[in-house]
Amino acid sequence: MDWWVSLPKVELHAHLNGSIRDSTLLELARELGDRGLVCFPDVECVILKHDRSLTEVFKLFDLIHILTTDHETVTRITKEVIEDFAAENVVYLELRTTPKKNASKGMTKKSYMEAVLEGIRAVNTVEVDIFSEPNFDCPANAGIYARSDGCARNGTAKKKIYVRLLLSIDRRETTEAAMETVKLALEMRHLGVVGIDLSGNPVIGEWLTFLPALEFAKEQGLLITLHCGEVPNQVEIHAMLDFLPARIGHACCFGEEEWAKLKSLKIPVEICLTSNIKTETISSVDIHHFADLYNSGHPIVLCTDDSGVFSTSVSGEYSLASSSFGIQKREMFQLARNAVNFIFAGNKVKLELEQVFDLAAKSLE
Ligand code: 5GP
């Protein structure tokens, strides 16, 4: 097997609806086309186009959401996305998604998330741990525990993936809608929800709109990651860093002052190389801020962002970083392993992941 696939990996920045297989999107589009609800050839062209500006990416998401926002499809894509990450040896996945309402399908934010959980339970190519923290001892977890150790029963040593969920607030949402998402996350903590993400089109919405919900989430012990600095907006970048999120994503449009602040605060950065290059947020990989952050020992983790939309994979991102910045496999292994420190799950999971890396270290040398 390819070394980059064999390498155990931790994925901390993956959007559910951005990680769908093209084949699934095309199948869904064809079905809606047959029912006269979309024009299939037009949709096919959009899905198969590979280089998109950041603005075009958000238009694509609106289209993807038309194809996917019913319970059955949300369950299907969740199952497939987890199986795809597991197939390339992602051992811990923090999957983020924006809970959505769709009145025409009787969908509420809660029922959307229940459909996601159904998708997690449906995974059958790999053993899934979606909840194994001892500090949330709740009867509602009984079924989940069973799912987590189900493969041990017949003695087959199936591969295992830890999956945790982040609920995303879309920058188009109001303060009330953001608060609804945070309350839902709190309600679902015993089901593997570990944090909140702020994402969506970075030129839409104001930081102050989301701040009350994010502060409430933080007070309640949820961990927060913010899409930060995807466009030049120094005021917002400073406000976001002052909020002290547990991680940020991207950090593309930082100036000297913002770098200094980020580095002194040691906030881990989720780096999405292919996404940044394809959306032209960064003009070429050789000038990507990965190099400076890596060389200065700043906490970073390589991620895909939207493996479907940007036709990439976690293995591909590790291979790209290695070839672009001349980093040897031994150091890349260490980079993958360091990501364990930045996961939102607790110490028990961290210790178990350390063991996974210890084992892999022997076989990958
Ligand atoms: P979903 O939350 O629907 O599962 O995943 C797609 C959503 O994630 C998009 O509608 C958008 O809100 C967010 N998203 C995906 N990729 C990006 C990105 O590169 N930047 C930002 N800011 N948001 C993104």
- Residue partners of 303: CB distance under 8 A and separation at least 6: 11, 12, 13, 14, 249, 270, 271, 272, 314, 317
* ipTM topping 0.95: yes
Active-site residue, selected from the candidate residues 80, 173, 180, 230? 230
The alpha carbon of 60 and the centre of ligand 1 are apart by a number of angstroms equal to 10
DSSP run (H or E) holding 165: strand 160-170
Which residue of 17, 193, 303 sits with most ligand 1 atoms within 8 Å of its CB, as the best mutation to test the pocket? Answer: 17
Q: How confident is the model at residue 142 (pLDDT cuts 50, 70, 90)?
A: very low
**How many angstroms separate the CA atoms of 216 and 220, rounded?**
6
- What are 67-78's pLDDT values in tens digits? 998 999 999 999
322 CB less than 6 Å from ligand 1? no
For residue 354, how far is its CA from the centre of ligand 1 (angstroms)? 30
Please indicate whether residue 312 or residue 136 has the higher confidence score (pLDDT). Answer: 312
pLDDT of the residue at 54: 87
pLDDT of residue 139: 41
Q: What pLDDT is recorded for position 148?
A: 43
How confident is the model at residue 156, as a pLDDT? 52
Residue 230 annotated to the active site? yes
pLDDT for 364: 80
**CA 322 to ligand 1 center in whole angstroms:** 26
CB 173 within 8 A of CB 207: no
Per the CB < 8 A criterion, the answer to whether 161 and 126 are in contact is: yes
Pocket test for ligand 1, best of 59, 199, 228, 231 (most atoms within 8 A of CB): 199
| Pairing, β 300-302 against β 269-271 | parallel
Per-residue pLDDT reduced to its tens digit, 237-258: 999 999 999 999 999 999 999 9
Question: What are the tens digits of pLDDT across the range 145-184?
Answer: 334 433 333 445 679 999 999 999 999 999 999 999 999 9
List the alpha helices (DSSP H) in 96-167.
Answer: 109-122, 142-149
What separation in Å is there between the alpha carbon of 238 and the centre of ligand 1?
A: 22
